[in-house]
Amino acid sequence: TQIFGYPPFSNVSAPDVNTSSSRMVYGALNMLRSSAGNPQCGPVSAVFSRGYIGDQAIVAPLDTGFVVGSCTPDFPKSVIPQPNCSAWPVPMLSAASGSPTPIPIATPEAVAHLLVPFVRFYNATSAVAGEEYAHFNLARVLTRLLSRYTYRPGLARPPGSAPLKLNWFEGTLGYLEQNPAVTIDYEKGIKFLIGAFDIWFGTKEGEELRKWCIDQSWPLVWAHDPVESTFHCNPAVTECDTPPEEYFSHGVEEVNVRVLDPFVLQKVPHGANITTNSSDFDTSAATFEKWWSFVGTQVPSNLNLTERAKRLNPIWEEMVNGNTQISDMPRVQGAGLSTSALALEPLFAGACRNEECIGVRIMDDTCVCPDAENIYRTPLLLRAPENN
């Protein structure tokens, strides 16, 4: 309402369908190559097709809801550290002023000018970099975007090249808000879904999500939002179980693993070149299903989100990274699923011929695509160097 000029909901706690359907779909441009979506927005994220949306989107440099909650005079102040609101001087229609002024937004083909407010707004890193925090933030963005080590597991990268860990702001809000200004057609507009491991993995809702993906021919990946990236508040947003203050300025979690759901992959076109005649896939799929069953039977279904996230955090560590914390569960060659046929890296520049591919398999740089003819190994110069 304050930024894009839409009429206010009559009841913000219960938005009506007609008003909601007349607004843009909320979207994000993943600037830090995080594995999952904003954990505050629910258990499922849809990854849209660039080819379908094209330049038909409206882009803001920041999460506009967070900006409104943090920087508008007539909104209660956020319970997390106050950002640098002057970085994006959004002229709000506040109760105090009542007068609008122009607002700096963009379309997808021209977003370079939005990088400045993006790196200046989140100023908690000034605790690390002082007045040069914006340059520090920009360097972190470039590292996550360009380094292939962002998604390399430990056995596939040289010593000292660990992925850059994200702080709370980066892991939760590290995106430009890119809202498609088109109606999203399920068949053509959605490439795949990301399920929140912490919320739906091994649950009845997760089973329904798997079935829905198969019905729609969408691949499904699972990703983990670290416990520290989520927080829950009372309705008045006066009491929240926020993370420790240093998590806002210091790297906490790599947030860099996506795991393909083998049950879904075997039933959608994207699995044609991966699931057949592959002992690696069969082994990984069997292990994945054992973990699915383990979570479904061993993790109580009545836990709240915070309790469930804390319970599943060590399970994710062992399932993906092979860190031994649950002794009676199997391994994939002793290293976890991060080195298996199911570990997926998001697309990067020049990765695949077909934009409809959903990512690059880490173990062999194979593109995962709906059309087998468009699958090829990534160019040698774009691959992570191999250890000799």
Question: CA quadruple 124, 129, 132, 134: dihedral positive or negative?
Answer: negative
pLDDT at 157: 66
In degrees, to the nearest 5, what angle opens at C-alpha 62 toward C-alphas 58 and 66?
A: 115
Gap between the Cα atoms of 241 and 70, Å rounded: 18
In terms of Cα–Cα distance, which of 233, 205, 198 is closest to 35? 198
If pLDDT is split at 50, 70 and 90, which confidence band does 148 have? confident
- Residues composing the chain: 388
Confidence bin at 147 (pLDDT 50/70/90): confident
Instruction: Give the closest residue to 223 by CA, choosing from 278, 182, 171, 168.
Output: 171
**Segment (H or E) for 150:** none
Inform me whether the pLDDT recorded for 277 exceeds 70. no
Q: CB of 368 within 8 A of CB of 344?
A: yes
Helix (H) / strand (E) element for 223: namely strand 220-223
Per-residue pLDDT reduced to its tens digit, 61-104: 999 888 887 887 665 555 678 899 889 876 554 444 455 555 67
Is there a contact between 280 and 341 (Cβ–Cβ < 8 Å)?
yes
CA atoms 190, 193, 194, 198: torsion sign: positive
> What is the pLDDT, as a whole number, of residue 44?
95
Q: Which of 106-115, 152-161, 199-208, 313-322 has the lowest mean pLDDT?
A: 152-161
Q: Which of 172, 168, 174 is nearest to 119 (CA)?
A: 174
Question: Under a CB-based contact definition with an 8 Å cutoff, are residues 358 and 369 in contact?
Answer: yes
Q: What is the 3-state secondary structure (H, E, C) of 22-86?
A: CCCCCCCEECCCCCCCCHHHCCEEEEECHHHHCCCEEEECCCHHHHHHHHCCCCCCCCCCCCCHH
The predicted pLDDT at position 353 comes to 83
- Of 75-89, 153-167, 254-268, where does the model show the most confidence? 254-268
pLDDT digits (tens, 9 = 90+) for 168-181: 999 889 999 999 99
As given in the structure block, the two tokens for residue 120 are: 């200046």
pLDDT over 80 at 105, yes or no: yes
Identify which of 151, 49, 154, 147 has the alpha carbon closest to the alpha carbon of residue 365. 151
